[in-house]
Chains A and B, each alone.
Chain A
């Protein structure tokens, strides 16, 4: 299936001696995995777009230059070291984001569908869930959703159209709540690797199997006695129980690339502080805010290892939600992000500071993925990483010229380039979504709302 490619070690060995054949080098260029479908998908959401216009007509996000010869912008400068595996995708519009300005944006980002009426959710599954059904391969989790400092503002810590990125690939496209507690994430992903928590592991697994087996049979038989809609509700629950059951059989085993991440102390971070939030962001938890950089890094480290250990092939990370009503003490910013976006008038300097910091975090994630050596390629090389937001320009909520980034080499994705997409016939971002899906070997030509999709965006490979 997979075309053999030259491992990094092989190149290094070869470099000391004989000349290396040119086609092989091309196969390695930029980490592109020509001919092999992408295996992993990572989506990273950041709130509040970027600074497409700083108020003086200057785009602080857009690189300058040509597709292959370009200079990264101030906001994208943190990607310099990994730019050979980065594809800057400019010029697209989220035309399917119809509904409440922020909510419709976060809903459309991965679904390409409009918001349901009355502040509802999406009209379709999110891209990651569709990809998960393609690439799932006996993993502990079909997909993993994590969020840092989530549930701010008027969601009061509850699942709300302002804070959902992922939607089930089922009949009702249910919103998927992300995991919030870094310690709980560590325990459920890596507990089995942690010698301090896995005493009597075999006995515990045996007990859990008996329990889930009994519970499974009860859900099945009860559903038979109920009406169709109630049965459907129980069946959906049963599906998830079976996922949990099979996960007990898919315990991860440590290898030289699957390593236990370092457990960071996050006792100063309240993962459910959103429960105390106020609509307007007036309720602050600056201690928790202070811990965001540390928690974010811990979550990224766990995300990388979740992939490296084959816990999952599909992961999402949300940096907050569209309200983004938390402060940035480590940047010296004591108001919330939404305040700088428009609540307190648009403040381009502060917005730029924030989105540049997010760029630094994302560059770290990409570099960590690129450090996982899978022999002839890296983890990043077989992945597609999609970085986006719910809008482009904060004060206007404009969704034209979305600040999208792709990275990786999965499915032949070619990095080291800047796709300006100026003047293309249809800049709708749904075309990007279906083009990403194609990288995973799925050949459909439309994704999301067909009214906003005219076919795969050209130029990713």
Chain B
């Protein structure tokens, strides 16, 4: 008999689960509507929040560079593309992007690794005359007589870029004095390396320090250089470029329109693609598609290389859709096209695609529609060799619609026996206990019916009409919406128009942009962002610009300064 290896998720307690509308915080949008002035042209921000000066509740705001940001920053600062930050211990997973400023503990190991990585990055940055000359051209003709002035020139430029601000009076002198100390024991390159090793461990480099400045209206806002840093780490995941620094020098980042202009420029720049890629690698289950374990006999078509192509499909599609296509999240969820190259098209059974280059391909819209039906997304959610409607449903409900499903407590779980994996030909049969056992049904009603319509995709994301010879029943429903759906295409249409979907997407972006985990007290800003996003027709690029126009982005909580 066929051995079913699918692991079955234990059914969970009804505790706190309901099958009615999944209302988000403050579903009434009328209130926030009055505060939204994001018309694109005016010089005011989005959603001023009365009595909450920084827009967001005042929690810790000092943000430390994540590994992604550290890697990008040393690449741009020193030309080091070895991804040295991967040696650091991991971030706390927190808001899903590992960048919650309130969840960045400092361990002994982290500080030790900062020191070790700084030493090796500094050594690489100074190991050849060419690398040194890239830091300052004067190093290539340096003599005993010019050495001091060359060091000063190099360090002024390097350290101010590393600190993302002009150096304070006297600060350069201190740094040059440090270099002189090292110079007594090492050659010129060695002394520069030691300063770089120092700078890379400094708080000014590792943390996004914000002192702020009081503006004409008496409100605390980031300085222009601090604003440049906010923009560059949000939209590019790295340090400001020369244009952004020049804009900061010229005082152009003190107004919402000035910030907007830079945000629009930066989004049009290819560097924003890397950030978008990082975002979706963390939002969608696609970052490890090249290493799925699948039984080679049952799934001869799946290979690691195909997995990598599936991930590429999702990224190519999203990049095109966001930057060149209609750009809406609803549109991404219901797009009638995707991107494939020849090998991937062959995998899907689509004819007429030639070559390694990815290109736009029309979908058979009876089988697939939008990003959630791409092979990588449906394959990446599930267990080894069998599809699993529970985990697929849970992904859609929790990650795409932001409806939390509580887990049961240990006491109750001890009484619940997991279903037998050999108990049915189809997933619907195997998970039937979920709809009959009262201990399971309430919570599982929120997951299983959302997952069942995806049963037309097997464990490697390919279309199927039957499972073990039995015709698949792909009917289901979406919690919080009217009626039922049949099959994946109807499912994603329903999800795309469900109220929580747009709100949820905006929430993930706000968490990512502001480096926090949404809490009730942030709902004013969140509501304003959601309304602006909805009004824009769920335009993703406009959402990213909107996130730079809120009080949360333009101001700082006044409480502590």
Real complex partners, A and B?
Answer: yes
Q: Which residues of A contact B186 (CB under 8 A)?
A: 207
Asked whether A244 and B288 contact (CB < 8 A) given A229-B60, A344-B5, A397-B410, the answer is: no
B86 lies within 8 A of A272 (CB): yes
Residue B194 lies at the interface, judged by CB distance under 8 Å to chain A: yes
Q: Pick the residue among A142, A214, A239, A283 that contacts B178 (CB under 8 A).
A: A214
- B259-267, B343-351, B414-422, B489-497: which lies at the A interface? B414-422
Chain A nearest CB: distance from B461 CB in Å? 13
Q: In the complex, are the beta carbons of A226 and B105 less than 8 A apart? A: no
- Inter-chain CA distance A243–B98, complex, in Å, is 25
Cross-chain contact B93 with A160 (CB below 8 angstroms): yes
Name the distance in Å between A268's Cβ and chain B's nearest Cβ: 16
- How far does the alpha carbon of A208 sit from the alpha carbon of B107 in the complex, in Å? 19
CB distance from B486 to the nearest CB of A (A): 27
B115:A244 contact, CB within 8 angstroms: yes
A280 → chain B closest CB, angstroms: 4
The answer to whether B288 and A283 touch across the interface, beta carbons within 8 angstroms, is yes
Q: Which residues of B contact A172 (CB under 8 A)?
A: 105
In the assembly, what is the distance between CA of A159 and CA of B110, in Å? 12
- Are the CB atoms of B418 and A226 closer together than 8 Å? no
**B219-230 toward A: CB 8 Å interface, digit per residue (1/0)?**
000000000000
The CA-CA distance from A247 to B334 in the complex, in Å, is: 58
Q: How far is the CA of A282 from the CA of B209 in the complex (A)?
A: 41
B115 touches A210 (CB 8 A): no
CB pair B93 A159 closer than 8 Å: yes
Closest Cβ of chain A: how far from B180's Cβ, in Å?
Answer: 11
The smallest beta-carbon distance between A91 and chain B, in angstroms, is: 17
A448 at the interface (CB under 8 A from B): no
Chain A positions 78-113 with a Cβ under 8 Å from a chain B Cβ: 97-101, 104-105
Determine which of A179, A206, A398, A399 lies in contact with B109 in the assembled complex, contact meaning CB atoms within 8 Å.
A179
A151 touches B90 (CB 8 A): yes
Contact A215 to B198, CB < 8 A, known contacts A177-B109, A240-B108, A244-B112 = yes
Min C-beta distance of B5 to chain A, whole Å? 6
Instruction: Output the residue of A97, A184, A283, A338 with the most chain B CB within 10 A.
Output: A283
Indicate if A373 sits at the interface (CB-CB under 8 A). Answer: no
Q: Which of A14-22, A39-47, A217-225 interfaces with chain B?
A: A217-225
Query: Could you tell me the distance between the alpha carbons of A142 and B197 in the complex, rounded to whole angstroms?
Result: 25
B356 at the interface (CB under 8 A from A): no
Pick out which of these stretches binds chain B: A230-238, A301-309, A361-369: A230-238
> Number of contacts between A and B (CB, 8 Å)?
199
Question: CB-defined interface of A264-276 with B at 8 Å, one 1/0 digit per residue?
Answer: 0000000010011
Cβ contacts B385-409/A at 8 Å (1 or 0 each): 0001001000000000000000111
Residues of A within 8 A of B417 (CB): 395
Stretch at the interface among B236-244, B376-384, B471-479: B376-384
B109 adjacent to A339 (CB under 8 Å): no
Chain B residues in 8 Å Cβ range of A175: 92, 105
| Beta-carbon contact of B60 and A230 below 8 Å | yes
A159 interface neighbour in B59, B91, B391, Cβ under 8 Å: B91
Q: Check A428 for interface membership: any CB of B closer than 8 A.
A: no
Given contacts A234-B203, A345-B420, contact A397 B414 (CB under 8 A): yes
Q: Within the assembled complex, what's the spacing in Å between the Cα atoms of A180 and B113?
A: 12
**Interface hits, B40-95 → A, CB 8 Å:** 59-62, 86-87, 89-93
Most A CB within 10 A of own CB, among B62, B388, B417 = B62
| Cα of A284 to Cα of B384 in the assembled complex, Å | 10
Enumerate chain A residues within 8 angstroms of B211, measured Cβ to Cβ: 225-226
B7 at the binding interface (Cβ < 8 Å): yes
Residues of chain A with a CB closer than 8 A to B105's CB: 168, 172, 174-176, 236
Q: Is A258 an interface residue (CB 8 A)?
A: no
- The answer to whether residues A159 and B90 also contact, given A210-B182, A219-B203, A229-B560 and a CB cut-off of 8 A, is yes
- A158 is an interface residue with CB less than 8 A from chain B: yes
Q: Are A226 and B92 in contact (CB under 8 A)?
A: no
Q: Are A278 and B292 interface neighbours, CB within 8 A?
A: yes
- Which residues of B lie under 8 Å from residue A206 when comparing CB positions? 185
- With contacts A207-B194, A214-B198, A237-B203 taken as known, whether A229 is within 8 angstroms of B410 at the C-beta atoms is no
Q: How far is the CB of A185 from chain B (nearest CB, A)?
A: 10
**Contact B209–A226 (Cβ < 8 Å):** yes
Assess whether B414 is in contact with A398, with CB atoms less than 8 Å apart: yes
B88-130 contacts to A (CB < 8 Å)? 89-93, 98, 104-112, 115-116
CB-CB under 8 A from A23, the residues of chain B are: none
A332 within 8 A of B: no
Determine whether B25 belongs to the interface, using a CB cutoff of 8 Å to chain A: no
User: Would you call A101 and B90 a contact (CB within 8 A)?
Assistant: no
Q: How far apart sit A283 and B414, CA to CA, in the bound complex (Å)?
A: 28
- Provide the bound-state CA to CA distance between A426 and B238, in Å: 55
Closest beta carbon of chain A to B120's beta carbon, Å: 12
Q: Assess the A244–B413 pair: CB atoms within 8 A.
A: no
B59–A342 CB distance below 8 A: no
CB neighbours of A157 from chain B (8 A): 90
As a 0/1 sequence over residues 192 to 229 of chain A, the CB contacts with chain B under 8 angstroms (1 = contact) are 00000000000100111011101100110010011111
- Say yes or no: B414 contacts A344, CB within 8 Å: no
Residues on the A chain within 8 Å of B287, using CB: 156, 276
Question: Which one of B86, B181, B204, B285 contacts A210 once the chains associate, using CB atoms below 8 Å?
Answer: B181
Is A431 among interface residues, defined by CB-CB distance under 8 A? no
Contact with B7, one of A99, A160, A277, A339 (Cβ below 8 angstroms):
A339
Within 8 A of B (CB), among A237-296: 237, 239-241, 243-244, 272, 275-285
Q: Which residues of A contact B414 (CB under 8 A)?
A: 396-398
The answer to whether A283 and B293 touch across the interface, beta carbons within 8 angstroms, is yes
Pair B109/A145 contact, Cβ less than 8 Å: yes
For residue A230, which residue of chain B has the nearest CB?
B62
Contact between B62 and A226 (Cβ–Cβ < 8 Å)? Answer: yes
- Complex Cα distance, B100 from A159, in Å, reads 13
Jot down 12 A-B pairs with beta carbons below 8 A, ordered by A.
Answer: A101-B407, A105-B410, A145-B109, A158-B92, A210-B178, A211-B115, A229-B61, A234-B203, A244-B111, A278-B292, A335-B5, A397-B414
Nearest 9 CB-CB pairings of A with B: A227-B560, A174-B105, A343-B7, A177-B89, A240-B111, A230-B62, A158-B90, A396-B414, A158-B93
